[in-house]
Structure 1
Amino acid sequence: MSTPTASPAPASGAAPSEYLTRGTPGLRRAQWALFAAGFSTFSLLYCVQPLMPLFTHAFNVSPAQSSLVLSLCTGLLAIAIFFVGLFSQALPRKRVMAFSLFASAVLGTIAAVAPDWHSLLALRALQGVAMGGVPAVAMAYLAEEVEPGTLGFAMGLYISGSAFGGLSGRVITGLVSDHFGWRAAMGTLGLLGIVAALLFVWLLPASRRFAPRRGQGWAGVWGDVRAGVGAHLKNGPLCGLFAMGGLLMGAFVAVYNYVGFRLLLPPFSLSQTFIGFIFVVYLVGIFASTFFGRLADRHGRGAMLSAATGLALAGLLLTLSDSLPILIAGIVVFTFGFFAAHAVASGWVGQMARGYKALAASLYLLVYYVGSSVLGSLGGHFWTVGAWHGVAAMAGGLLLGALSISAGLAWRTGRRHRTAAEAAPGGTAVRGG
């Protein structure tokens, strides 16, 4: 069984190359390439959310059944992420992500002409499998290639691309579907995904601090997998981050799945286009990801993770209002808190992992998307029983669980830093974590 390492040395055996550093062309290209990858993946993933009320009429399915078009995709995405992560040490980073982007965009385009509900679900399931390469590898690529002091900012920009994709997918499909129908909306997103994939291939620098581990055979690969999974599952704080990902994403998807249903009903009775444009609040997610990523680099991840989760919970409480401006303000605050927390937690995973960083990222994202698939779909039953108050109660419980975990992580890291400060000469320690 091999010993965990932060990242494999280049195949030649030479010393690892220098990190991508802030202000260099290489880092700028990497950041924008991964911004494009995040945009494509998450616009295609979430473009169906504002279309769910249309699916209930087009295919004569219930609101809970309509959520399968998202939850089935995210569920298969979770499994794909995990398996790509298992074998990521033997796979070239850029090639995996490029294949994932092209395949998911093509499948998204084909889904626009699905003849019936079951065909649409099958294509969305295949699309979820195809999407797995980007989330599984992007976090590991950044953790390996970007200098540690800039990692929070770089990870924040990748999450910003995800936020921009989620925004664009919802707004574009809401606008196009109102005028041309849901098929034209999904086809438009598929074509945009192909363009983003081309930009990604052109911009992303090849890995310099990672080389695929060839020639070790299946036994060697599985040995690495067992060693990596075992090491990560014995790492209590890292498992706490995994759990946080699932709880945060479950709450987020439940809210966004069913807020459209609420806004279609009295006292709001909004149009599909207006509901789509409400998702412009995703812009705050772009800002929140980079802003909190920088704060985490400066002030510590534990405290920032707790603050971001608390903001998400406060925003959720505001959505209980029947005043449209207050409800929209609640969605803004909720979205800000979610993306801030996700950016901090995902960036922390790469640093907290003791080797096998891609596998750690895959485990985080496995739990993250299982939360999306299972808990997001479960929100439909809470909607049936208690309408919006039922969904909000479910999401609030999930956020309270995430807040308790983040508080524990903040206390643990704070205690470690205080101990280090007491032991350091002059009672001063360099901040970390």
Structure 2
Amino acid sequence: MHGKIPMASYDEAVASKLRRVSTDSLRFGIIALIAFLTLVDLFAAQAILPSLVVKFSVSRATMGFAVNASTFGMAIAGVAVALLGRNIDRRNGIWFSLVVLAIPTALLSITDSIAMFALLRVLQGLCMSAAFTLTIAYLAEHFSPGQAAGALAAYVTGNVASNFFGRILSAAVADGFGISINFLTFAALNIAGALLVWLTLKKTDRMMRIDADHPPVGGAWKAHFKNRELRGSFAIGFLILFVFIGTFTYVNFQLAAAPLALSPMALGLVYFVFLPSMLTTPLAGRVARRFGPANGIVLTLGIAIAGLLALLTPNLPIVLAGMALIAIGTFLAQAIATGHVSRVAARDKAAASGIYLASYYSGGLVGSFVLGQVYDRLGWTTCVVVLVAALIAATIIARPLTAPRV
């Protein structure tokens, strides 16, 4: 008596759930692809650093600093959008930023000036950061809390993928067709990202308000810097990208030099070391919940320290394993620190995120400069010592962090 109707209802429920899962999977896949196309330019040029040194006839430190000048633009735009972006339509702001991003990317293909190269990289950073920050705001405003967590995880995964595939693509295109075609290829990807945003994201009238009822922005920022938990998180973010960029910029020269002597294409394939971190980064939330933010960051940075020590060997498999551990540890720690900032900030969370983003990318720029000088003057072993010391400092700063009461 109860067979047919309950069975029909069950089938309908299963079909509805499958449709919902399919829709969510498609939606999150699109979000991950937008993230990929937004940040694919950020670190791709690191894979062809030895070739760029030859083209511009400059030192490794100078070229490394110029390539990573994009992080300066990222830091500036992160703060600017947090302060001024409340009245920007998210969808229009994202696609427009990606269209504009294609301009400096294309111009990189024709410049022969190292100063102009660095300036164009800064402009790239400004555009990438604007699109990045506006997308995060869009996801927070257009999804339920449960959906937003999945959407942000998809976006982070797309960012990690851009680190991985961007480097491989850059090395492959530069090796096969030359440096100029490489940058034109990435300009085409920027346009593709803008088109994807235009076609898939909804235009919105609702803007992200930065706590309008609370004190002025300057007072809120001052309160953030007075908060020990936030100060610590900002410093940890600075040190994480200091180490990440310092490592993955200058390890290229070690891999290209004897005894390893890898070709440009082989250098690109080396970045398959990012593949494990694409699988582990979404676990950051579980790590933070189980161990707390302090122990979670200490544990994950401990993994990265072990990876750094492995870079001192001339054995390629061990070096690759070390690079994989560094990527896993730093990406996990960065995700934990980012989440901690959003939970700890009592008000004006956009400003807190903007400060963290500025600190994070400033660390990358400083790391590129400092490690370049150390590498040129004192060698790779000293570089690794400096990098290990930076991560030890980050673990010390992390120790007082506490999980906020819910």
Q: Which bin holds the TM-score, normalised by the shorter protein?
A: 0.7 to 0.9
**Which residue is 2:381 aligned to?**
389
**Which residue is 1:286 aligned to?**
278
Q: Is 2:85 the partner of 1:91?
A: no
**Which residue is 1:134 aligned to?**
131
Q: Is the 8 A contact 2:71 2:361 kept in 1?
A: yes
Provide closer, same or farther for how the CA distance between residues 306 and 158 of structure 1 changes in structure 2, counting only shifts above 3 A.
Answer: farther
- Matched position secondary structure for 1:408: coil
Q: Write the deviation string for residues 155-177 of structure 1: whole angstroms up to 9, x where unpaired.
A: 33322211111112211111111
Provide closer, same or farther for how the CA distance between residues 269 and 310 of structure 1 changes in structure 2, counting only shifts above 3 A.
Answer: same
**Which residue is 2:207 aligned to?**
211
Cα offset, 1:31, TM superposition: 3.5
**Which residue is 1:428 aligned to?**
none
Segment drifting more, 328-337 vs 175-184: 175-184
Choose from 321, 325, 333 the match for 1:341: 333
**Which residue is 2:359 aligned to?**
367
Cα offset, 1:325, TM superposition: 0.6
Choose from 328, 334, 338 the match for 2:320: 328
Partner letter of residue 75 of structure 2?
A: A
**Which residue is 2:268 aligned to?**
276
**Which residue is 1:16 aligned to?**
none
Partner letter of residue 282 of structure 2?
A: T
Q: Is the 8 A contact 2:28 2:150 kept in 1?
A: no
Provide closer, same or farther for how the CA distance between residues 299 and 137 of structure 1 changes in structure 2, counting only shifts above 3 A.
Answer: farther
Identity %: 29
Provide closer, same or farther for how the CA distance between residues 340 and 156 of structure 1 changes in structure 2, counting only shifts above 3 A.
Answer: farther
- Matched position secondary structure for 2:400: helix
Q: Is 2:228 the partner of 1:236?
A: yes
Q: Distance in 2 between matches of 1:307 and 1:146?
A: 32
**Which residue is 2:166 aligned to?**
169
Cα offset, 1:397, TM superposition: 1.3
Cα offset, 1:290, TM superposition: 0.9
**Which residue is 1:35 aligned to?**
32
Partner letter of residue 235 of structure 1?
A: N
Choose from 122, 127, 140 the match for 1:125: 122
**Which residue is 2:179 aligned to?**
182
Q: Distance in 1 between matches of 2:46 and 2:213?
A: 38
Q: TM-score, normalised by structure 2?
A: 0.87
**Which residue is 2:196 aligned to?**
199
Q: Is the 8 A contact 1:72 1:121 kept in 2?
A: yes
**Which residue is 2:109 aligned to?**
112
Cα offset, 1:190, TM superposition: 1.7
Provide closer, same or farther for how the CA distance between residues 43 and 72 of structure 1 changes in structure 2, counting only shifts above 3 A.
Answer: same
Q: Distance in 1 between matches of 2:224 and 2:140?
A: 16
Provide closer, same or farther for how the CA distance between residues 203 and 344 of structure 1 changes in structure 2, counting only shifts above 3 A.
Answer: farther
**Which residue is 1:305 aligned to?**
297
Q: Distance in 2 between matches of 1:389 and 1:173?
A: 27
**Which residue is 1:7 aligned to?**
none
Provide closer, same or farther for how the CA distance between residues 142 and 349 of structure 1 changes in structure 2, counting only shifts above 3 A.
Answer: farther
**Which residue is 2:61 aligned to?**
64
Cα offset, 1:288, TM superposition: 1.9
Q: Distance in 2 between matches of 1:91 and 1:247?
A: 31
Partner letter of residue 384 of structure 1?
A: D
Cα offset, 1:383, TM superposition: 0.6
Choose from 31, 45, 49 the match for 1:48: 45
**Which residue is 2:72 aligned to?**
75
Segment drifting more, 135-144 vs 373-382: 135-144
Q: Distance in 2 between matches of 1:230 and 1:132?
A: 23
Q: Write the deviation string for residues 389-429 of structure 1: whole angstroms up to 9, x where unpaired.
A: 122112111111111122221xx33xx76xxxxxxxxxxxx
Provide closer, same or farther for how the CA distance between residues 147 and 318 of structure 1 changes in structure 2, counting only shifts above 3 A.
Answer: farther
Q: Distance in 1 between matches of 2:92 and 2:110?
A: 29
**Which residue is 2:12 aligned to?**
none
Partner letter of residue 382 of structure 2?
A: G
- Matched position secondary structure for 1:267: coil
Q: Write the deviation string for residues 127-173 of structure 1: whole angstroms up to 9, x where unpaired.
A: 22222213333444445555556665543332221111111221111
Q: Is 2:247 the partner of 1:255?
A: yes
Q: Write the deviation string for residues 113-134 of structure 1: whole angstroms up to 9, x where unpaired.
A: 2243333223222222222213
Partner letter of residue 132 of structure 1?
A: S
Segment drifting more, 151-160 vs 284-293: 151-160
Q: Distance in 1 between matches of 2:88 and 2:157?
A: 26
Number of corresponding residues: 388
**Which residue is 1:423 aligned to?**
none
- Matched position secondary structure for 2:258: coil
Cα offset, 1:97, TM superposition: 2.4
- Matched position secondary structure for 1:132: helix
- Matched position secondary structure for 1:211: coil
**Structure 2 spans left out of the alignment, 5+ residues:** 1-19
**Which residue is 2:15 aligned to?**
none
Q: Is 2:286 the partner of 1:318?
A: no
**Which residue is 2:14 aligned to?**
none
Q: Write the deviation string for residues 267-301 of structure 1: whole angstroms up to 9, x where unpaired.
A: 10111110111011112221121122344356644
Q: Distance in 1 between matches of 2:163 and 2:249?
A: 12
- Matched position secondary structure for 1:241: helix
Q: Is the 8 A contact 2:137 2:208 kept in 1?
A: no
Partner letter of residue 111 of structure 1?
A: L
Q: Distance in 2 between matches of 1:112 and 1:202?
A: 28
**Structure 1 spans left out of the alignment, 5+ residues:** 1-22, 418-431
Partner letter of residue 211 of structure 1?
A: M
Provide closer, same or farther for how the CA distance between residues 321 and 213 of structure 1 changes in structure 2, counting only shifts above 3 A.
Answer: closer
Cα offset, 1:85, TM superposition: 1.1
Partner letter of residue 89 of structure 2?
A: P
Provide closer, same or farther for how the CA distance between residues 137 and 406 of structure 1 changes in structure 2, counting only shifts above 3 A.
Answer: farther
RMSD: 2.8
